[in-house]
């Protein structure tokens, strides 16, 4: 794991987008794992800008989203598909045939979970997975106590997650109660992943995920097991980290980061 501290949210998002853009330039048929949430909005906005300015080509990129709410149709504005359509897919040149999401309206959600895992495997696996983090430490909708080897399946949303998304849906009672999500094990199988966290509401959970023990109560802590995981935080989300000077030293000295400094 590597931790990169950036002065503010905009720069943290820009760095994340720069890594995605570089990955797509190097491998035009990259398989991307996408994430939704407010943290990701400036990442997609930056990618859209790079597409407009430099013609970054998404026509061969395959996209798999992490999760979807159960019971929301894909054209619902606050479904994960609706979010990505608005912030990303409609603004760049994705081929819709290359976009995959778990279907939260599927009649048989268990079969849908298996289908999704099979699609990911058939694509050759995820090259780069983007992740946010919930205030309860979730990645995707892998709520506290999710098995660290779990695969795509339905999970009940934790009260904290419902609270976090209540404003968006117009009140806690309107937030769906379940999500269908890639499992922690699915995420750990990606070749590379980037977890982005911004703002002081994430400071404590970021410190627990990065510097605390690996525990099912904080599913993001499982990323410590990932062979190539980069955690990008702004100053606010990084305030509770103990080893900030060490992370800065690595970022300054690791040749890999030369082009991104």
Contacting positions for ligand GLP (CB under 6 A): 35-39, 66-67, 132-134, 140-141, 161
For 200, residues 6+ apart whose C-beta sits below 8 A from its C-beta are 236, 237, 239
Distance between CA atoms of 56 and 93, rounded to whole angstroms? 9
Question: Which residue lies nearer to ligand GLP by CB, 37 or 60?
Answer: 37
Q: Is-contact 6 196, C-beta < 8 A?
A: no
Q: Shortest distance, CB of residue 37 to ligand GLP, whole angstroms?
A: 3
Question: Which residue lies nearer to ligand GLP by CB, 49 or 160?
Answer: 160
Report H helices in the chain: 9-26, 41-54, 80-87, 109-122, 159-169, 184-188, 203-211, 244-253
Residues labelled as active-site residues: 67, 136, 138, 143
Q: Shortest distance, CB of residue 185 to ligand GLP, whole angstroms?
A: 16
Distance between CA atoms of 187 and 193, rounded to whole angstroms? 8
Question: Which residue lies nearer to ligand GLP by CB, 36 or 113?
Answer: 36
Q: Shortest distance, CB of residue 181 to ligand GLP, whole angstroms?
A: 7
Q: What is the DSSP string of 33-57?
A: EE--SGGGHHHHHHHHHHHHHH---
Please report where in the chains the tokens 């999970």 appear, as a residue: 155
Residue 261 burial (10 A CB sphere; 0-12, 13-18, 19+): exposed
Q: Shortest distance, CB of residue 252 to ligand GLP, whole angstroms?
A: 28
Q: Is-contact 161 177, C-beta < 8 A?
A: no
Q: Shortest distance, CB of residue 67 to ligand GLP, whole angstroms?
A: 5
Distance between CA atoms of 118 and 120, rounded to whole angstroms? 5
Residue nearest to ligand GLP (CB): 132
| Cβ neighbours, 10 Å, residue 223 | 23
Question: Which residue lies nearer to ligand GLP by CB, 50 or 80?
Answer: 80
Q: Shortest distance, CB of residue 87 to ligand GLP, whole angstroms?
A: 12
Question: Which residue lies nearer to ligand GLP by CB, 56 or 120?
Answer: 120
Question: Which residue lies nearer to ligand GLP by CB, 37 or 125?
Answer: 37
């Amino acid at each position: 794991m590597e931790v990169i501290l950036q002065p503010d949210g905009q720069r943290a998002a820009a760095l994340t987008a720069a890594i995605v853009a570089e990955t797509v330039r190097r491998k035009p048929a990259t398989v991307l794992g996408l994430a939704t949430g407010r943290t990701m909005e400036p990442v997609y906005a930056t990618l859209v800008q790079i597409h407009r300015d430099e013609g970054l080509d998404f026509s061969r990129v395959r996209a798999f989203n992490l999760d979807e709410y159960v019971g929301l149709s894909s054209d619902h504005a606050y479904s994960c598909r609706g979010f990505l359509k608005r912030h990303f897919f409609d603004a760049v040149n994705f081929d819709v045939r290359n976009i995959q999401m778990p279907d939260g309206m599927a009649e048989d959600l268990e079969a849908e979970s298996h289908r999704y895992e099979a699609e990911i495997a058939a694509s050759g696996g995820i090259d780069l997975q983007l992740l946010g983090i919930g205030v309860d430490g979730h990645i995707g909708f892998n709520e506290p106590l999710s098995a660290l080897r779990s695969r795509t399946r339905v999970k009940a949303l934790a009260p904290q997650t419902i609270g976090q998304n209540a404003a968006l849906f117009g009140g806690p009672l309107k937030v769906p109660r379940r999500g269908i999500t890639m499992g922690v094990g699915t995420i750990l199988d990606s070749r590379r992943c980037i977890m982005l966290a911004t703002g002081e509401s994430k400071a404590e959970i970021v410190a627990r995920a990065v510097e605390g023990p690996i525990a099912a109560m904080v599913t993001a802590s499982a990323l410590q097991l990932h062979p190539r995981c980069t955690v990008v935080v702004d100053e606010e989300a990084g305030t509770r980290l103990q080893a900030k000077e060490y992370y800065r030293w690595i970022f300054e000295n690791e040749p890999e980061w030369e082009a991104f400094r």
